[in-house]
Amino acid sequence: MIRVTCTDGDWAAWTFSADPGAVRAARSAVRDQLALWGLEGVGDLAALLVSELVTNALRHATGPIGVRLVRPCDLNEVLLVEVSDPLPDPPRERAARPEDEGGRGLQLLASASRRWGTRPGAVGKTVWFELTVPR
């Protein structure tokens, strides 16, 4: 049995200012880091979901937006992705109607991720999700 031990190189984190360029910068950072780890198979999906969460943070919160990736270790094959912002209120899922222009981000997150949730932080909250990494 092979046992993998997590090291400091098994996570990456960034802080983005709350401006429209944060969405593109976060997508790029996530894709680049996953490519460095050899996890391109989940790069596009992870970047899409991070884009949705960063966009939500820009719409509803002010202040810095944090993004963190935790690479699978101990052979659990699950990538953990976290997006933090200073707004303490958790996001609310809503049922978007076909004619609505928005409101589908959390529905997309729920359907595309293995699981997701929120947790309060010292300041604000973190929305996290897991993606299964293909072998």
> What's the pTM?
0.87
pLDDT tens readout for residues 26-42: 999 999 999 999 999 99
Superfamily of domain 10-132: Histidine kinase-like ATPase, C-terminal domain (3.30.565.10)
The answer to whether 129 and 81 have CB atoms below 8 angstroms apart is: yes
Which portions of the chain are predicted below pLDDT 50?
1-4
